[in-house]
Chain A
């Protein structure tokens, strides 16, 4: 049972990390119109960020690690995408960089 609860809290941590990050991203996404959009941006950050903090604080000591692990795992995973993606693009691109011999249209 406790494993199931821990798993559910881990998933909740992941989900709240997604929504909180998206809420923070609203600052850059709506920066061009921040003069009018700021209430919505603030509401998102306070709503999702507040919910995340509240859950983390209110959870019993024994269950908190699962939630925080979900939260941090997703942040780590998300940041790693930005490291992996360029490497992946370059690796897939490597065969194309070979010189093209005479007459081979490089198809």
Chain B
């Protein structure tokens, strides 16, 4: 067997020699597909190399090893592979093939070096993101990079992945594909079946400027085209704001790997009509050749199309998350409902510092230990029902709860321990003025400006370790925990109303517990509307905001004298709410004070809608007043005072809970600033090449980069792998439970009725508007029903325009529920698949009391 083969020598059946990727590319090249020239360093070369190191015995011993054992032993194997020189004949053969590759180019050729493992084709094992890929590789780095590709077969992740799928370690070998890097002007991915909706009659194409890594690594939101398979007509076209590109060439070790796209290009469409068709046609040719729907990576330069990769579309299996994990886990909904994306590695590392007891990360999402909860809950309850309770699904359990006398003492002890640990802070949070947590802002400022404080120190100071004499306003996390006292007050209110005033409207409790002033998120929505009204008063400001993209509009507003008042008001808004962001619980998300474009986007959307807002608030105020009058008339005296007390307390703690989130985010903003300061230092020193990559490192790695213990080359592959894994996980809906046998509940739901959890009372009929991304699609006409995958404060202004809201995740306490109640708007949360089952333009009826959504009619022209 030869150690080095040209791509044309390889065929689809040569996986054992060239690995999955190499065999696939060889097959395409041999059949005339426009694949960039390249060669394959075969698995034979790898075998000879590792045999010379005597590693076979070592990896045979890894079969059946635990994760900890893998963590101890894999790095040693990797180190030996990376640090040992290749045998001279092999090195010469590789360098000769590389020279031949360069000879075919214009003398300025960089290579992409990709791992190609033999196990990539195994059923059910995608190995996505497990093995190394390197770009911009020149002759000087080639041999080391090939060794790193080999070593990536022995990363802890790859070994653990094989272990959990029962693939013997010694059965997998690694080839390496070396290819010329195409100087892509535009590149992207194409799917010959829609991987989001599952529609086989649709082709999905995503494209962006520069190299495809920008899309694959999730660095940009690409343009998106959905075409019909028959006739290749474009059914849907979304031109995104593409702020960055990965350039096709870099020079010098310190050059950044990410470039800013000029303003004029950011919103320009990347593909012409004929180019969209060309991509679709080549993708369909790949599908015909391989006989199955394909996921194609492509590039275009000088009008020529290149095929970089074609592989079958793998079904994204959420069952992969948590596979092989012991124990029973349930998704931590309080966090999951704020944003559905997985956390970045840095966020996970910091959030798990120290690892909170009973919480663990799987697939970037946080899960609670169901066994631990079971020990503390004094009920005899099935796993399924306990998972439903822990997930705050609000759905009735399959059987009535039965007290367990055996478990009661433990539950009482836990209650006592909580009372002792939190008794003082609980008393301190009682009856505080609404602005008492504003002091947290000054603490954040101090932390941001303290050069001795790193991200971990900031996290501890702001969230974990308050000082003995800190005011309670400095402890938003503790305030948040204490605010859970709304639940017993609400329970008491419910019981009193049921007993003393039966027959009230079904949403009486929710109505009495809403309508407090001072809920920060609700105020923010009103301030956005005020900004829009301010903008609409000055024609030039209105024009700039409605005709230009937010970033460009802001630049022009700064030069427009008539915009001064608007900008002052915008600055005031940012001074209060600038720490907020889209997906704000993630440290990676830029804050509005860094980039106010999303705020201007929200203002623009209010300017674009012509009719007035739906005045739910006034209706709710009137309904609440009527309800209170009725209760007072029917009870009077002490009973009325007790009802009023319970409602007042529940309202107070609910407001405290929502507002404490405002300050959590402020603290996260301060930590982000510390991280950005370190990132700037690492970028300036050439230790990092791209902005935003720091969020794909662990804190230990960041510290090692700062100290020089690690170099860019050591982390480049990890960043790339983790980015790809993050993109992959982002596409997965996380399972609600891991390790729990769940039985499908018979809900009686019909095909036209969706069931969820009522989060804000009221009933409303209107046309649906499905919005998947608050940063991209923000067009909601007054009175339309907002249908969203999740909501956070960036969605709040839409609530003022919407007639009702239906949200895929969430609970009574979620942001959507709290804000909807404040605005008096019907809202149903936790409606699985609502963004898929309801289409924009469909007539729906939202019942916030029963937690149901009924589809009344088909789509209209929306």
Contacts and interface: CB of A to CB of B under 8 A. Distances in A.
B697 to A, nearest CB: 8
A23 B151 CA distance: 62
A22 B427 contact: yes
A15 B425 CA distance: 13
Interface size class for chain B?
35 or more
Contacts of A101: 75-76, 78-79
A89 interface: yes
Given A88-B354, A96-B700, A105 B156 contact: yes
A25 B704 contact: no
B701 A106 contact: yes
B62 to A, nearest CB: 14
Contacts of A4: none
Contacts of A86: 465
Contacts of B421: 81
A102 B80 CA distance: 10
Interface in B697-733: 698-701, 704, 709-710, 714, 717-718, 721-722
B432 A29 contact: yes
B152 interface: yes
A32 B642 CA distance: 32
Interface in A61-99: 74, 77-79, 81-82, 85-86, 88-89, 91-93, 96-99
Majority SS at the chain B contact face: helix
Interface in B335-366: 345, 349, 353-355
A103 interface: yes
Contacts of A77: 420
Contacts of B471: 28-29, 31-32
Nearest to B156: A104
A18 B699 contact: no
Contacts of A15: 423
Contacts of B71: 104
Interface string B420-434: 110111011000110
A2 interface: no
A97 B703 CA distance: 10
Interface string B144-161: 000000011011110000
Interface string B573-613: 00000000000000000000000000000000000000000
A79 B467 CA distance: 11
A5 B700 CA distance: 55
Contacts of B862: none
A97 B700 contact: yes
Contacts of A103: 74-75, 78, 82, 151-152, 154-156, 717-718
Contact of A74 (B420, B425, B465): B420
Interface string A12-28: 00110011011101101
A100 interface: yes
A78 B423 CA distance: 10
Nearest to B427: A22
B157 A107 contact: yes
B156 A29 contact: no
Nearest to A32: B439
B428 A22 contact: yes
A41 B710 CA distance: 55
A107 B345 contact: yes
A29 B472 contact: yes
Contacts of B74: 103-104
Contact of B468 (A82, A96, A97, A98): A82
Contacts of B428: 22, 25-26, 29
A100 B151 contact: no
A85 B428 CA distance: 20
Given A25-B428, A29-B472, A82-B468, A105 B420 contact: no
A74 B471 CA distance: 20
Contact of A33 (B156, B433, B704): B433
Nearest to A83: B468
A18 B698 contact: no
B465 A85 contact: yes
Contacts of B425: 22
A89 B464 contact: yes
A102 B427 contact: no
B473 interface: yes
A53 interface: no
Contacts of B78: 101-104
A30 B704 contact: no
Interface in B289-311: none
Contact of A106 (B353, B439, B464, B698): B698
B470 A28 contact: yes
Given A18-B423, A22-B424, A29-B436, A89 B460 contact: yes
Nearest to A97: B700
Contact of A102 (B82, B424, B721, B722): B82
B196 interface: no
Residue among A37, A89, A98 facing the most chain B CB atoms (10 A cut-off): A89
A26 B472 CA distance: 9
B445 to A, nearest CB: 15
Contact of A25 (B79, B354, B420, B472): B472
A30 B717 CA distance: 52
B353 A105 contact: no
Contact of A96 (B436, B472, B699, B717): B699
Interface in B447-483: 456, 460, 464-465, 468-473
A22 B465 CA distance: 18
Contacts of A30: 432-433, 436
A103 B722 CA distance: 12
Given A29-B471, A89-B464, A105 B345 contact: yes
Residue among A33, A74, A79, A93 facing the most chain B CB atoms (10 A cut-off): A93
A99 B714 contact: no
Contacts of B439: 32
Contacts of A78: 424
Contacts of A25: 424, 428, 472
Given A18-B427, A96-B349, A97-B700, A102 B75 contact: yes
B698 A105 contact: yes
A93 B722 CA distance: 23
Residue among B74, B345, B428, B469 facing the most chain A CB atoms (10 A cut-off): B428
Interface in B48-100: 71, 74-76, 78-79, 82
Residue among A30, A33, A77 facing the most chain B CB atoms (10 A cut-off): A30
A51 to B, nearest CB: 14
Contacts of B155: 103-105
A102 B704 contact: no
Contacts of B714: 102
A104 B75 CA distance: 7
Contacts of A79: 468
Nearest to A31: B471
Contacts of B432: 29-30
Residue among A22, A37, A97 facing the most chain B CB atoms (10 A cut-off): A22
A2 B714 CA distance: 70
Nearest to A94: B354
Contacts of B152: 103
Contacts of B424: 18, 21-22, 25, 78
B704 A100 contact: yes
A92 B354 contact: yes
A13 to B, nearest CB: 13
B75 A28 contact: no
7 contacts: A88-B354, A89-B464, A96-B353, A101-B76, A103-B75, A103-B156, A105-B155
Given A92-B354, A99-B709, 14 more contacts: A29-B428, A30-B432, A74-B420, A89-B354, A91-B354, A96-B698, A96-B699, A98-B700, A100-B704, A102-B82, A103-B74, A103-B75, A103-B152, A105-B718
Interface of B: 71, 74-76, 78-79, 82, 151-152, 154-157, 345, 349, 353-355, 420-421, 423-425, 427-428, 432-433, 436, 439, 456, 460, 464-465, 468-473, 698-701, 704, 709-710, 714, 717-718, 721-722
5 tightest A-B CB contacts, nearest first = A92-B354, A101-B75, A22-B427, A18-B423, A106-B698
